[in-house]
Amino acid sequence: MNILVVEDDPRISDVLEYALKAEGYEVRTTQRGREAAEIARNNSPGLIVLDVGLPDIDGFEVCRILRTFSDVPVIFLTSRSDEIDRVVGLEIGGDDYMVKPFSPRELVARIKAIRRRNQRPEAALANDSKSQLHYGPLTIDAEKFRIQCQGREISLTAQEFKLLELLVRHPGRVFTREQVLDRAWGEGGLVADRTIDVHVKSLRKKFGKFEFIETVRGIGYRAREL
């Protein structure tokens, strides 16, 4: 897989390039956000490691540009650990978020986890009872990873889609955070419970007045029975 590293600190960029190449990935680096967007448009990398603090435009704006033409997985890197930054990063289409300083080995593990959960086997699709699911005003096409709400297409990240699909396929059933991690993230997801909460918050915002995800305090989440 080709990985694009967008990082303006050459020391960090060099370390990441070395660690990723040691794992067999092809790596391209850049220090500027606009150049990263152009590289992604013309070369279609398999994943992007994206620093938030860049010298021209920030990583959030780069991700917004990317999402106009690509669903490439994005892992944000930042020196800021505020919750609002994590929420913004996930809401605009990021797949994961790492706060500096971090271990290159952990980054590699997160990349592998994203690849595993984004590679949905054809056999699993064939065994779905319905590839197209209807839930209230929602129409979910599991094969095409598309969702419509009252005729309006909703843009979701791959992980938001899997979380949504898990809940609405079982209305009324409560899923603990551990169950969500196991079934929507998959083995080796390497995410914290708080990441699930952020994804739920993002889904609620995207669906607005259609409030269907219920919090079961101290346990987890469920899609309400319609």
Interatomic CA distance for residues 201 and 90, integer angstroms: 10
Same domain, 107 and 177: no
Domain count for the chain, please give it: 2
Low-confidence ranges of the chain (pLDDT < 70): 81-84, 117-131, 186-193
Same domain, 102 and 128: no
Question: Which residues, 6 or more positions from 96, have their beta carbon under 8 angstroms from its beta carbon?
Answer: 73, 74, 75, 76, 110, 114, 191, 195
- Selection from 48, 56, 88, 52 nearest residue 72 by Cα: 48
Question: Which residues, 6 or more positions from 66, have their beta carbon under 8 angstroms from its beta carbon?
Answer: 37, 40, 48, 72, 74, 93
Tens digits of per-residue pLDDT, 26-36?
A: 999 999 999 99
Same domain, 112 and 139: no
Give pLDDT, residue 6: 97
Give pLDDT, residue 129: 46
* Domain end call among 86, 118, 150: 118
Same domain, 114 and 78: yes
- Amino acid in the structure at residue 148: Q
pTM of the model: 0.62
Interatomic CA distance for residues 202 and 195, integer angstroms: 11
Same domain, 13 and 57: yes
Q: To the nearest 10°, the Cα dihedral for 48, 52, 58, 62?
A: 20
Same domain, 101 and 175: no
Instruction: Kindly report the average pLDDT of the chain as a whole number.
Output: 84
> What is the domain-level CATH number for residue 175?
1.10.10.10
Tens digits of per-residue pLDDT, 149-194?
A: 877 888 888 788 888 988 998 889 998 888 887 777 765 445 555 7
Residue with tokens 């409030």: 211
Same domain, 106 and 84: yes
Give pLDDT, residue 179: 82
Give pLDDT, residue 210: 87
Question: Can you give the residue range of the structural domain that contains 101?
Answer: 2-118
